[in-house]
Amino acid sequence: MKSWQCDLVPVLPGNGLPLRLFDTATREIRPTAPGKTATMYVCGITPYDATHIGHAATYVAFDVLQRCWRDSGHDVKYVQNVTDIDDPLLERAVALGEDWRTIAERETEVFREDMSALNVIPPADYIGAVEAIPSVADHVGRLQELGAVYSVENDLYFSVHSDPQFGSITQLSEAQMVAEFAERGGDPERAGKRHPLDCLVWQAARPNEPAWDTHVGYGRPGWHIECVAIALDYLGMPIDVQGGGSDLAFPHHEMGASEAQVLRSSWPYARHYVHTGMVAWQGHKMSKSRGNLVFVSHLRRDGVDPLAIRLALLAHHYRKDWAWTQEGLSAAVERLARWRAATAVSSGPSAAPLLARVRELLSDDMQTPTALDAIDHWVSEASSNGGSDMGAPSQVAKLCDGLLGVRLA
Ligand code: 5CA
Ligand code: ZN
């Protein structure tokens, strides 16, 4: 699938520090990416309503992660999917009286434009679930050969306990797993399943629903196996970072990891499981199903600078849940203007200590709020006392762009 464009990422003097990140599975901040090429898979949108601020916060967080890796000398291989066939998309198509493909194409295009405006580095491979169907069928077939799949009517289920490590990422109790599975698209109660937590890998065709003819049946992919097939095809295993919002930790990442671990008879699927906090609005998590959404495209249409949106997102630590507010956006608009004014002149206080400080903060689990404060401090020094370092303002602008993706010029 076509991805999107972003500006060239400036290369900064010297090298960033090795990135340490919180890992959901081990619940600690640990060093990432041992190899020269770092690999990252971030779960993409289900394109029936894009792009809300929660999506934007998640993809901007992983964009900062990628910038940190590049700054510390890694090449980055980044892959993302688009869940362009799934129940919510089909339900929306019925509600709007539109073809599901038309909705998916339209919303994916809005997402591309928003990502580009937010200066998010595009994935090297941007893969739709529909285009991955032959691969999904191959992976389901392989799981069948391994004895990890059984059928209920004509639907195919993965036995999650065929992976001895199942449950080790989120470490939830059985009761919690069953409850979250039911809440997030699972079917723990379905009769005929061997275990309530077993998950669908292939759904047989339903009347009036799209279906594909494959060697594992006429139907469509289950959700988790879609991401696993794409990640294994384009990145291999282990992935350095499997990313997404915290709403994906269970069941999506837990079940996907088990599928991959059985497929490859190896562990772990990912070295780090990295999860962003949920952005709320009007008192609830921003979600398509609830409909309490603030769209990036609407803000842009109303004349809001997308880089001010980016700054408003970066003012919150990526792992925390937080609420979007008009005040937060206004503060970001003002901050962006102050940064632009201070970096538009020819001299200022030295940029080197600021670069070192921002690198230090980002390398320690991406502390963007304090990194923004450090830049604020340089900006207020520059505005009140000036400074004699020729070129420092443009170096600071480069730093803001290279590490935080906030273009000032
Ligand atoms: N297509 C699947 C992943 S394979 C999916 O979850 N799509 S989504 O459109 O619902 O979400 C896309 C990404 O945005 C996911 O990583 C999800 O965790 C994240 N996300 C969704 N809502 C929020 C929110 N309110 N705050 C932060 N991140 C969110
Ligand atoms: Zn996914």
3-state secondary structure of 136: helix
DSSP 295: B
pLDDT value of position 287: 85
Instruction: Answer yes or no: is the C-beta of 398 below 6 A from any ligand 1 atom.
Output: no
- Ranges of residues in the chain with a pLDDT under 70 are none
Which secondary-structure segment (H or E) carries 239?
A: strand 239-245
Q: What is the pTM of this model?
A: 0.98
The interaxial angle of helices 368-385 and 352-363, nearest 10 deg, is 170
Dist CA 182 CA 188 (whole Å): 6
DSSP 13: S
pLDDT value of position 172: 98
Backbone φ and ψ for 279, nearest 5 degrees, come out as -90, 130
115, 122 contact by CB (below 8 A): yes
pLDDT value of position 200: 98
Architecture of domain 306-316+325-404: Up-down Bundle (1.20)
pLDDT value of position 226: 98
CB atoms within 10 A of CB 23: 19
Instruction: Answer yes or no: is the C-beta of 285 below 6 A from any ligand 1 atom.
Output: yes
Instruction: Answer yes or no: is the C-beta of 244 below 6 A from any ligand 1 atom.
Output: yes
Ligand in nearest proximity to the CA of 60: 1
DSSP 52: B
Please state the domain extents for the chain. 306-316+325-404
pLDDT value of position 31: 98
Pair of tokens at residue 397: 């602008």
Q: Compute, in angstroms, the gap from residue 368 CA to the centroid of ligand 2.
A: 25
| Alpha-helical segments (H) within 167-321 | 174-183, 223-234, 254-264, 296-301, 306-314
123, 77 contact by CB (below 8 A): no
The C-alpha R_g of the chain, in whole angstroms, comes to 22
Q: Please name the residue whose Cα sits nearest to atom 5 of ligand 1.
A: 45
Q: Please name the residue whose Cα sits nearest to atom 29 of ligand 1.
A: 54
3-state secondary structure of 127: strand
Backbone φ and ψ for 273, nearest 5 degrees, come out as -110, 115
Q: Please name the residue whose Cα sits nearest to atom 28 of ligand 1.
A: 54
Pair of tokens at residue 5: 């464009």
- Per-residue pLDDT tens over the stretch 247-298: 999 999 999 999 999 999 999 999 999 999 999 999 999 987 788 999 999 9
Residue type, 4: W
pLDDT value of position 50: 87
